[in-house]
Amino acid sequence: MTALVALTGGIASGKSSAARRFSQLGIRVTDADEVAAEVLAAGSPALDQLCDVFGQAVLTPSGDYNRKAMRELVFGDERALQQLNAIVHPAVRERTQALLAEPHDKPYQIWSIPLLLETGQQGIPDRIVVVDLPEALQIQRVIARDHVTEASARRTLSAQASRKARLAVADYVIHNDSSLEALDSQVDYLHQTLMDDFT
């Protein structure tokens, strides 16, 4: 049985870079965001359900899922957010479980999931890896990457699990407050540790 290692972290923490490195090392990565995109593809049952609940505003002119419009619809509206989650989360979980169950020739696999704590799934993986950085640097990176205001970046952070909560569940921490090379080096070291753990 291939062990399951969750890779998580806040927005702009460097999860994608860490996941890329694990993949380069031959480890299968199942990305929750990619699964969500697949589940919400044009014509999918989940997207049809969203249209039934929220109307055509959740679609782009070409009929694809309009993530930005959906975010604006649910922002500050707890009931709308619950409706969204009730449709999307079960579909994503079902598809994720199918992908994670596929045979893999390595002792462990990576499940890249930004909202591990927020969705209450921290009890599922065998190990949890948190990509961490100081909040001030995280805010700088969100502003630079997404071209948003500091207030908007802080709002996004406040909607996620706190840094303290993530670190409290971490088995391993990757510190991403330096260069990409430093992050890759930490992933390489952790990869060897996990290979030793599960063989």
Residue ranges for the known binding site for ATP are 12-17
Which residue ranges make up the annotated binding site? 12-17
CA atoms of 31 and 26, how far apart (whole Å):
15
- List the structure tokens of 126: 């065998």
Cα angle for residues 111, 168, 183 (degrees, 5° grid): 55
Residue 130: which region, alpha, beta or left (left: phi > 0; alpha: psi -120 to 50)?
Answer: beta
CA atoms of 91 and 133, how far apart (whole Å):
31
> What are the residue ranges of helices labelled H in the chain?
15-24, 32-39, 45-54, 67-74, 78-100, 135-146, 150-158, 163-169, 180-197
Q: How far is CA 171 from CA 57, 166, 179, in A?
A: 41, 10, 22
